[in-house]
Structure formats: structure tokens, C-alpha cells
Amino acid sequence: MRAEVLNILLIARRDLARFWRYKYWLAGQVAMNLADILIFGLIFNGVVNRQLIPDYVRFVTPGILCLSLFISSFSIGREVGVELRREVTHYLLTLPVRRESLIIGRLLGGALRGLMYQAGFLLFATIILTVPTPRGWAYILPTSFLVALTMSSISISLSTVTRDFNLQATIRSLTYYMLFFVSNIFYPQAVIALRLGPLAPIVNYSPLTMATNIYRWAFQYDVSIDPLYNFIGLTLWSAIIAILAYRLYIRNLLRD
């Protein structure tokens, strides 16, 4: 058992170490996320009807925390895709590590990437919004871990579906749109109701809506939100997605 845990940590550490190899990419991503908060927020303050959202920067900041997790955790999916095309997976399968440990290690590595990348943005959110209470942090940290795990699970499993580079990039983009646009990150539910009508509540069941709700509550943007309900929902989502990703990855790893 202890040996397996060590193996998992070793695999996760390898993925974490590789994360820093892409310094320019990381710098570009950080710049983009900051641009999302500052420029996108500032501009939309000039576009958005203030009766709907009084301060768009404050509204969008909790969502950007999710976005930062998506970008960093998804980087591992891109690497898994490259490994698959270059058949590095054969080498990975010959390692003296149980396949279950290999996969859990990779999912964990992706999640840790997300957490490390998001740390700076959490600090940024405390400046733009407010410093959370200890109870707020008690929700923020596990929420970040669950979202990071969910994102790395989705990205790894989707990257193994096809070896076509173009299709991989397309799936990645579509996943981004599906996750972020079918949520309350960029607009409140009242606005979605204008178009989707009775179907609008579907947005409430999105994992990213739940995570954003927790962040909005913890950073005291909207204290009327029930964090426990959202956290339970997010936990269920993460468990389901991680299990499905695990099964898909192991199936595709062993496929010729």
C-alpha cells in the first residue's frame, strides 16, 4: 500500500516537474488570465447593463478562478495526447508501477498543476473582492482541488479518445465552451432564462456553476448562496467524472 502511494506521488511529481518546462506558455497563460480579469472585466463594465450586473470585474473574478484551473489542469491532457501519438504510452506501461497507480498519479499530477497555478489568482481575488473568512477558506481549498481534479480527469480522458491532433484541439475547445458557457461564470441565470426559458435551471447543475457559486459566497460577492449544497453537488460531479475518466484512460491505454 505504502509502495503504491509512493508510486502515485512519483508519477504526480514527474508531471508537476514537466509543468515548469513550458515557461513561455505559462507566462502567456498567466498574462491571458490577468487580461481576462482586468481588460475583459473593464471593457465589459462599459458594455454591460449595470442594472443587471453593477460591477462586472467583481462578478467575473470567481469564474476566472475556475478558468485558471481549466487552463492549467488541461495542459496535462495536451501532453497525454502527444504521448499517445508518439507512443510514449508503451514506455509508461512497461514501468514497474501498477496501471491504477499510473493513472491516479497522472490525475493527481494534473490536479496539483491546477492548484499551483491558481494560487496567485486566489491572492488576486482577495484584492479585487475581499479576504475570505477561515470558513470561507475551508470551502475554497477543497473546491479548488475538486475542480482541478475534474478538469485534469476530463482533459486526460478526452485526449486519449483520438490520435488526430486537430480533433484533439477541437475537442479541447468544445469542452471549454461547453463547460464555461453552460454555467453562470459570464452571465447571471436571469439572462440565460431570457433565451432558454424553462430550461435555464440546467445551468445550476453545471459543476462550474457550483464551484463559481462557492467562490462567490466565500469571497463575499453573494452571501445568500448556500455553499454546502453546491459543495455536495460538486463532490458528486468530481467523483463521477474522475471514475469515468479513470476507466476511459485505462481502456484507451491498452488499446492498440
Residues that bind another protein (CB under 8 A): 22, 24-25, 28-29, 31-32, 35-36, 39-40, 42-44, 46-50, 52-53, 78, 82, 85, 164-167, 169-171, 173-174, 177, 181, 186-187, 191-192, 194-196
* Residue 66 Cα distances to 33, 87, 183, 214, angstroms: 11, 32, 11, 11
Closer Cβ to another protein, 124 or 231, answer by number = 124
| Residue 47 or 127 with smaller CB distance to another protein | 47
Find the shortest distance in angstroms from Cβ 77 to another protein.
11
Backbone dihedral angles phi then psi of residue 186, each to the nearest 5 degrees = -95, -20
Radius of gyration of the chain (CA): 19
- Provide the CB-side half-sphere exposure for 218 (13 A, CA): 29
Least separation in angstroms between CB 249 and another protein: 20
CB 59 within 8 A of CB 222: no
Q: Angle at Cα 64 formed by Cα 44 and Cα 62, nearest 5°?
A: 95
Nearest to 73 by CA among 203, 253, 245, 248: 245
Q: Please say which residue, 2 or 195, places its beta carbon nearer to another protein.
A: 195
Shortest reach from residue 78's CB to another protein, in Å: 6
Tell me if 240 sits within 8 A of 153, measured CB to CB.
no
Closest approach of another protein to the CB of residue 170, in Å: 5
Which residue, 86 or 135, is less far from another protein as judged by CB? 86
Considering beta carbons, is residue 88 or 131 the nearer one to another protein?
Answer: 88
Q: How far is the CB of 137 from another protein (least distance, A)?
A: 30
Write out the H or E segment, with its range, that includes residue 227. Answer: helix 227-253
